[in-house]
Chains A and B, each alone.
Chain A
Amino acid sequence: MIQTELAIVGAGPAGLSAAIEARRAGADVLLIDENSRPGGQLFKQIHKFFGSRAHKAGTRGMNIGTQLLKESEELGIRTCLKGEVCGIEDGQNLWVVIDRNRSEIVKAKKIILATGATENAVAFPGWDLPGVMGAGAAQTMINVNRVLPGKKVLMLGSGNVGVIVSYQLLQAGADVVAVLEAAPRLGGYGVHTAKVARAGVPFYVSHTVKQAFGTDHVEAVEIVELDGSFNQIPGTERILEADTICLATGLTPLTELAWLAGCEFKYIPALGGHLPIHDDRMHTTKENVFVAGDITGIEEASTAMEEGRLAGINAAAELGYINEEEARIRSEEIWDSLNCLRSGYFGQKRRESKDLMLHTGNEVIQWKIH
């Protein structure tokens, strides 16, 4: 058995930021991640982040990852890698399977779940062929593992993930044959979209994949135009040569541990589906259990880091390392920063959805715990 004051599940941007704040305040922290290296998905993000300078805008995701790891090392944060959290009990005990050979019970006073998200799938005939993969999967292969999973790639989805990964595939030496978008207009930030367009990649709005052809691997893709109700228009099919289809069609929060913990959920489609209800301290309806990052709704690494800091500060406050007043003031500063990140054309909808969650959380959780 391992004892700790604060156990954090997931060493991505949210988990690392939470660990740093809580450790800095004096709490004993154990950071658990199933991967052999910490950093979550930061190291595949080789592009510069958006936002203001305070949000590390203009810095590449991978460099933010390096900074966070350096801080966490300097603070001497205990990290358990290759540790898969398979169970959670009473909001205090975690069952961690380590390296397939042994398992440990971690007894914690507080737990922060920062488990992140996984990519959505799209089913079409042939979608199970080797060569069809998440856009993030291709991004991991090219930027972290430095191998090219395909040479002629079709990207389905023109949101930020779709256009950023398309550009990075070009940088890695692949040919992007087209970017498809089911909606009638493109979904990503203009600056990322423009870079891909300038490279000569054709964009098809109101289009989707009808089917993929191949026996042991994708060899070609049939695309089709969609009408205003997203129905395929017969006769508009055409065939493109491609060996890889990347799906950039959104993400779903990884909420299994929050369900297991007994957290109450709220359905907010704009943030990715069923989400653990939390208040403005990132506390869930389950005593001692906090959440941060994509598990609370799909956003970006910049918001995940701020939410992680919120959870870390407030968990440390509950442990008695930060007084209530200080925790409140620091939380308010972070909320200002989050509201700033959640503004503008792309942020407004997330802001509204997050406000809805907070409204619910602040109501339900005060009633429950205090």
Chain B
Amino acid sequence: MNRITNHPILDQEKPSREVTIFVDDKPILAREGEMIAAALIANGIFINRYTLHKHKPRGIYCAIGRCTDCIMTVDGVPNIRTCITEVREGMRITTQKGAGAWQEEGQE
């Protein structure tokens, strides 16, 4: 896992509640309140989407909500900036292909 547990400057991380989120239908553990992109990196997931024309993988780039490289489909809504969107228990995240598609509500 890619979580930083020991750090010479930062305090020991306060243990926050774990939540389960689903990435392409696979459950992963995230920390309550953390950003989706961080939870993915913690779980070794570095591809957030594939581009529209050349289907090339993209990961985080600016991590402050500006570049939109990390957008994914979250709970049926495409183009969510995962670096500034917090995880929520039971959240369903899909690796976005191209412009993504809106999923009908209640499809689950």
Residues of A within 8 A of B (CB): 34-36, 41, 46, 60, 100, 118-119, 121, 128-134, 136-138, 140-143, 145-149, 171-173, 216-217, 254
Contacts and interface: CB of A to CB of B under 8 A. Distances in A.
Nearest to A40: B64
A46 B56 CA distance: 34
Given A34-B84, A133-B63, A172-B4, A147 B58 contact: no
Given A100-B77, A145-B34, A149-B41, A46 B10 contact: yes
B98 interface: no
A147 B38 contact: yes
Contacts of B4: 142, 146-148, 172-173
Contact of A147 (B3, B8, B57, B61): B3
A254 B66 CA distance: 10
Given A36-B86, A142-B4, A148-B2, A133 B13 contact: no
Given A46-B10, A146-B4, A173-B4, A141 B62 contact: no
Given A36-B84, A149-B41, A171-B8, A133 B2 contact: no
Given A128-B56, A145-B34, A216-B47, A137 B64 contact: yes
A129 B54 CA distance: 13
A41 B58 CA distance: 23
Interface residues of B, number: 34
A141 B38 contact: yes
Interface of B: 2-4, 6-10, 13, 34-35, 37-38, 41-42, 46-48, 56-67, 77, 83-84, 86
A365 B60 CA distance: 41
B59 A41 contact: no
Nearest to A127: B61
Contacts of B48: 130
A46 B4 CA distance: 15
Given A100-B77, A147-B2, A171-B7, A141 B64 contact: no
Contacts of B3: 146-148
Contacts of A137: 60-64, 83
A141 B63 contact: yes
